Structure 1
């Protein structure tokens, strides 16, 4: 479990992971050594796994996103999973229950690029594709309140 101070540290870092220890300490109203110790404990406990970079895919030329549900053909699960792992345009993928085994998010420059990627797995899996029009909820933290 995390306490209110840890929660405040996590929330501050979620808004700006580049905060210095000094700035973070000021925001959560603690001393720098206290914040450093709390960060160290949060990392050791696996609460904080790392600090990430958030890129704008459109600024990098990826104007299209797609969600692809992937259902491997019988006996092809491990082959399809390896293919998914090796396709750099697949920026996220979940292994799920239900009719499909995988739900993948792709960052793409064009529909033609999507076709080329889907062709790589077409003989090993069934796919169902949806083009992303908007993302009303960006990736965010789960609720940090007490359960």
Structure 2
């Protein structure tokens, strides 16, 4: 990735709907040049998708929670499928350590949260934390790997 690719990606992170003309001006390239670079970035998997960020609260999901999930012995695949099938789970990471999954979910109420957790209670142990605020929204890592201290 060179400086022009970095400029294109930074601009798209700020506004994924930015026109090719505006991207070209931002990166100092022609529109066809930017289009070709975006195509290559997509092919290489650097850019995975162009998407809209949705505010769960605006849709009536007033509560978000992080749930640490530890499946009971022999229940890992069943629990993973349950998490995938419950649409309120917005994100889930399979992790090392005491828990197997760390998931984020959005719900309209504590009652709905309890109902979802009840669906997996006989297959896994859970530990839930209600999200009060999100000081850092999901963001990509730095576009250039920093070599600090070397």
Which TM-score bucket, shorter chain as reference?
over 0.9
- Determine if the alignment matches structure 1 residue 127 to structure 2 residue 126: yes
2:65 and 2:130 in contact (8 A); partners too: yes
- Following the alignment from structure 2 to structure 1, what is the Cα–Cα distance between the partners of residues 75 and 138? 30
TM-fit CA distance, 1:29: 1.3
2:29 aligned residue:
30
Report runs of 4+ in structure 1 exceeding 3 Å deviation.
Answer: none
1:98-113 alignment runs, 5 A limit: 98-113=97-112
Deviates more, 1:119-128 or 1:51-60: 51-60
TM-fit CA distance, 1:27: 1.2
TM-fit CA distance, 1:46: 0.8
Measured against aligned partners, the alpha-carbon deviations of 1:2-32 in whole angstroms (never above 9, x if no partner) come to: 1111011000000000011111111111110
1:74-93 alignment runs, 5 A limit: 74-93=73-92
Secondary structure of the residue aligned to 1:11 is: helix
Measured against aligned partners, the alpha-carbon deviations of 1:56-92 in whole angstroms (never above 9, x if no partner) come to: 1111001100000000000000000000000000000
TM-fit CA distance, 1:146: 3.9
TM-fit CA distance, 1:136: 0.4
1:47-86 alignment runs, 5 A limit: 47-86=46-85
Secondary structure of the residue aligned to 1:134 is: coil
Runs of 5+ consecutive residues of structure 2 not aligned to the other structure:
none
Q: 1:98 to 1:28 in 2, by over 3 A?
A: same
Runs of 5+ consecutive residues of structure 1 not aligned to the other structure:
none
- Following the alignment from structure 2 to structure 1, what is the Cα–Cα distance between the partners of residues 29 and 47? 19
TM-score when normalising by structure 1: 0.97
Deviates more, 1:122-131 or 1:26-35: 26-35
